[in-house]
Amino acid sequence: MDSSFNRFPDNFALPLGRLVLAFGELENLAAEHILVHSRHQLLPNGGWSRSGQQLDEALRPCDDSDAFQRLCDEIHELWTWRNLFIHGDWVFRTDGTAALSLRRHRKLDKQIGRAEFDIWPLITPARIDELLEDALGLASSLQTFTVQLMARINEPG
């Protein structure tokens, strides 16, 4: 292996671990909101237990306010990063940066078509920290919406 590359360097492992935990928390809060909204009724296809696009599709109908829809837009954008960071192929460099690629298979007439790649040539620990702050902020906002929803559901009358 080329000596200019490193495997799982510490300056990435800790921030990535925190980010993965934050993604998990955000997905759990989204599932909780969906369950509260549905009054804990079973949803078709377990919509609350999905991630990414399926979770987004189950979360959006819970509140049609502009503020909640903007929150869903921001969460959706963050989930794009989540998929990339969790499912992407990392190449760590000794200069403290990394490159990241994600292979996508396009389906053509029920058959696997050609593979395409999304490539991010420069990822830094600082960028991961920014995404972590975004995830934590979105989780806090979603939790606030859930508490407000619980209060409306439990209002007398």
| Domain residue limits at 138 | 5-153
CB crowding 111-148: b at 16 or more within 10 Å, else e: eeeeeeeeeeeebebeebeebbebbeebbebbeebbee
Entry pTM:
0.81
pLDDT in tens, 7-61: 788 888 899 999 999 999 999 999 899 989 988 776 666 555 566 778 888 899 9
**What is the count of structural domains for the chain?**
1
Cβ 29 vs Cβ 109: under 8 Å: no
The number of residues in the chain equals 157
